[in-house]
Structure 1
């Protein structure tokens, strides 16, 4: 039986990547491990396309759908421009539910300058909560395309913002009454507000202007899974330092309360960047100048078997999460 969340890499290879239809003559980057978007040759421009569902949240689901998909496109150095969305509603949904989802989609897309150009809407038997599936399209000049599999040995790993932002916000929204009794209303409202930091479009476009080898937004499975995905895509290993990975106090306390691991909690809002060592300082400085928190947390290494977390001077394997920590709560 498959676990909740992302399909394990070995099953993707066996069941998915062996069945990808006809070869695409103009496909520059296609489906593979650790690859969150496709890149298609359009002459002097490259079309970047990504698709993602929102399945772990009900409140603000339209907001998440736009930003999560926009993030994937931006990690290729492309500006998100066009969005298609499928909205699946459970039986018994009323018009207000659909209206609110569309309001969230409209407001979020408008803020990023994105046009909603199509999609599908239906009431689907068997669903327990709404599901929104988005497909984002963007474009970038061919010479400025950043590939998610471009990390090099010795590259610095830079993390923007903080680990577990999206997961913290979702849990605070979905379990607000329980958390308010434990931590108080102000604490829960701060945790909910992490949703406001979910976009990495500015992070990615800022970093790509300085010059980086690869970027990736860690979604399901959090920072831990994101590191494995970037390493998978480039055929590398990594060494990261536990004390350098920034985690907000609200995330730590919520994770302690529910017995969760912060590094395996869905982390949209953070951006992982692979940058040449000599440019790492410039990338961090450019991000900080925009008011975006950024930290060098480790480096990629040549040995693909060495994937370690270093804590208190000792290193241990950083295991790939079987599923996101969010599912333990939801």
Structure 2
């Protein structure tokens, strides 16, 4: 068996072994190139302008197809937003199974158009086609581009020793939002309707466009906690910035609806995919300003730790005060559940 994961994004070891040193021709215009755990790249246009560019797929399933177009835009555009710039341009590779109804295609594209228009994103190209072997509509790759001043960019590599780490919304946002739809019938045998509906609404929390726009001015680094959840997201920040961290587990809240869905599927909310959770680092003096502005926009946030010197290592303090090493997540537990064959409700 090779080093590929059973499902999900390749880990740092495989990335560095197979991809990192084989990136085609070198180009001096690349300010931020491919890095494991870094959301987007940056290309120098001139002294005061850089192009930020990202690429992301988007998966669907029957229970969430009526919201798929929304997800395509927000999941792809969020990777540019976390570098501190507004997403402006987008291309989409929309692949459809042969049984796709015309009305379904229209719904997906109308949602893409609506969300792009709402966030001032222009679709400038892409590919749309019908192909066998695809179980549900799939965004094979959405490319998003934005522009900003190089000195204002906020990649994970910019985290500084002494920075506080702020988390928005909570853990396992994407896992909860998607799995609450996928397993709604099963959840109803355990939990009340109000809790399940709250979990399903987390689907539309799978975006950091607003979070990042609010926080970028006062942050050093920002990162979208996608595969591997907040634990992996924090670890990726430390690896990119060559720093350590101290995370306080008792300061990470797990809202009831998130706890319910994760418990039902036996997945760890701290290591499950959490598109929509913004992890940012900032000087201690900026925390109040950032959190106050987030709260004004109805976005919850918590200070969950701090950035430390690299020699201190990556640490997480359990609720009993025990200190352990914060390790990268090898395989996100969400994917096994996502692709598991079960009745769609």
CA-to-aligned-CA distance 1:126-153 (integer Å, 9 cap, x gap): 2222221211111123342222211112
Distance in 1, matches of 2:104 and 2:93, equals 14
Provide structure 2 residue ranges, at least 5 long, that are not aligned to the other structure: 339-345
Deviation at 1:246, TM superposition (A): 2.5
2:144 matched to which residue of 1? 136
Match of 1:151 among 159, 169, 174: 159
Q: Is the 8 Å Cα contact of residues 75 and 148 (structure 1) preserved in structure 2? A: no
Distance in 1, matches of 2:175 and 2:303, equals 22
Distance in 1, matches of 2:165 and 2:204, equals 24
Report the TM-score, using the length of structure 1 for normalisation. 0.94
Deviation at 1:232, TM superposition (A): 1.2
Q: 1:184 to 1:289 in 2, by over 3 A?
A: closer
Distance in 2, matches of 1:109 and 1:304, equals 44
Q: How does 1:267-278 map to 2 (within 5 A)?
A: 267-278=274-285
Q: Is the 8 Å Cα contact of residues 177 and 204 (structure 2) preserved in structure 1? A: no
1:198 matched to which residue of 2? 206
Q: Is the 8 Å Cα contact of residues 217 and 270 (structure 1) preserved in structure 2? A: yes
Count of aligned residue pairs for this structure pair:
329
Tell me, yes or no, if structure 1 residue 167 matches structure 2 residue 175.
yes
Tell me, yes or no, if structure 1 residue 35 matches structure 2 residue 38.
yes
Q: Is the 8 Å Cα contact of residues 180 and 199 (structure 2) preserved in structure 1? A: yes
Tell me which moved more, 93-102 or 55-64.
Answer: 55-64
Match of 1:6 among 5, 9, 34: 9
Deviation at 1:28, TM superposition (A): 1.1
Provide structure 1 residue ranges, at least 5 long, that are not aligned to the other structure: none
Distance in 2, matches of 1:84 and 1:27, equals 21
2:58 matched to which residue of 1? 54
Tell me, yes or no, if structure 1 residue 264 matches structure 2 residue 281.
no
CA-to-aligned-CA distance 1:31-52 (integer Å, 9 cap, x gap): 1122110111222322111111
2:99 matched to which residue of 1? 92
Q: How does 1:1-330 map to 2 (within 5 A)?
A: 1=2, 2-3=4-5, 4-43=7-46, 44-55=48-59, 57=61, 59=64, 60-132=67-139, 133-209=141-217, 211-303=218-310, 306-311=313-318, 312-330=320-338
CA RMSD of aligned residues (A): 1.7
SS in 2 for 1:219: coil
Q: Is the 8 Å Cα contact of residues 161 and 269 (structure 1) preserved in structure 2? A: yes
Q: 1:56 to 1:130 in 2, by over 3 A?
A: closer
SS in 2 for 1:181: coil
CA-to-aligned-CA distance 1:275-300 (integer Å, 9 cap, x gap): 12232232222322333211110011
Distance in 2, matches of 1:224 and 1:97, equals 36
Report the TM-score, using the length of structure 2 for normalisation. 0.90
SS in 2 for 1:122: strand
Deviation at 1:302, TM superposition (A): 1.3
Distance in 2, matches of 1:53 and 1:290, equals 28
Q: Is the 8 Å Cα contact of residues 90 and 124 (structure 2) preserved in structure 1? A: yes
SS in 1 for 2:332: coil
Deviation at 1:237, TM superposition (A): 1.9
